[in-house]
């Protein structure tokens, strides 16, 4: 009975992985297809990657996405780290509720969050563009850093910071000399995860972007309306590789923290 359960579990996991990753594998394989027809395989080629490298509009969108992801993940790193450290030092009765509220942005459906951002920025008369994109992305990136740093703080001995203060170090000096080096892997891990989430976002970006600011996910979405080409497949493959790399680094640093 136990062996049968194990076999059924293995079959279920195999089918689940196949359902999840087969479409991704198809996109990657057809990015090397000679034919423009994405349903007929005619041979291997790297021409679509060469054309992708020469597409100025896509490269401009990629630059905007990298700038956006860097700024939002950097801001989220600062806000999330300070928030996690501050929450670890207080003993309020409402601490649990505040921590729960801090993670709400990643639980709210993106389409609702995007509509809320659009209405709020319009109310403030902010010009839609890179500024509103950074503000929106930073908001939903903060919880990723907050949760990673919060887990990293669990294994830190609080007496280390207290000992530094007893030796004459100020609160800020103790943070930069003791606390920050210990939680740095968690901070980097959270920022990498936030970078990947910002780089891939399309729903929120559509609501808060301007006419002159185009990100890579939005560019891909608009091109899909005219049909999928191997060039789009090549672009998706590059983005998948970057995303997997960032998530892999985040997981590696997260496992290092847990040890």
Domain architecture of the chain: domains with CATH: 53-258 (1.10.3720.10)
Among 70, 61, 74, CA closest to 232 = 61
- The model's pTM is 0.78
Residue numbers in the chain where pLDDT is lower than 50: none
95-102 and 56-89 are packed helices; what angle lies between their axes, rounded to 10 degrees?
180
pLDDT of residue 255: 65
The per-type count for the chain, helices as H runs and strands as E runs, is: 12, 0
pLDDT of residue 161: 67
pLDDT of residue 245: 80
pLDDT of residue 250: 66
pLDDT of residue 258: 53
Task: Please check whether residue 77 is in contact with residue 190, taking contact to mean a CB–CB distance below 8 angstroms.
Answer: yes
pLDDT of residue 254: 60
Start-to-end CA span in the chain (Å): 36
Among 111, 135, 134, CA closest to 215 = 134
Q: Where are the beta strands (DSSP E) in the chain?
A: none
DSSP state for residue 130 in the 8-state scheme: H
Q: What are phi and psi of 143, to 5 degrees?
A: -60, -30
Q: How far apart, in whole angstroms, are the C-alpha atoms of residue 43 and residue 236?
A: 19
pLDDT of residue 73: 93
């Amino acid at each position: 009975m136990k062996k049968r359960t194990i076999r059924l579990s293995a079959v279920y996991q195999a089918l689940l992985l196949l359902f999840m990753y087969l479409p991704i594998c198809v996109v990657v394989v057809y990015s090397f297809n000679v034919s423009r027809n994405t349903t007929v395989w005619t041979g291997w080629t790297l021409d679509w990657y060469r054309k992708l490298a020469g597409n100025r509009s896509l490269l401009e969108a990629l630059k905007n996405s990298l700038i956006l992801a860097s700024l939002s993940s950097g801001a989220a790193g600062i806000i999330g780290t300070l928030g996690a450290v501050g929450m670890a030092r207080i003993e309020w009765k409402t601490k649990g509720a505040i921590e729960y509220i801090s993670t709400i942005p990643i639980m709210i459906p993106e389409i609702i969050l995007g509509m809320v951002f659009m209405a709020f920025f319009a109310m403030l008369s902010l010009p839609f563009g890179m500024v509103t994109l950074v503000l929106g992305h930073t908001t939903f990136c903060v919880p990723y850093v907050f949760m990673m740093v919060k887990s990293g703080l669990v294994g830190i001995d609080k007496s280390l910071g207290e000992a530094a203060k007893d030796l004459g170090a100020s609160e800020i000096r103790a943070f930069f000399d003791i606390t920050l080096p210990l939680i740095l892997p968690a901070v980097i891990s959270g920022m990498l995860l936030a970078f990947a989430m910002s780089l891939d976002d399309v729903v929120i970006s559509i609501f808060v972007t301007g006419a002159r600011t185009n990100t890579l996910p939005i560019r891909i979405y608009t091109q899909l309306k005219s049909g999928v080409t191997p060039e789009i497949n090549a672009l998706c493959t590059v983005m998948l590789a970057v995303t997997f790399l960032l998530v892999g680094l985040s997981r590696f640093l997260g496992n290092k923290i847990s040890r």
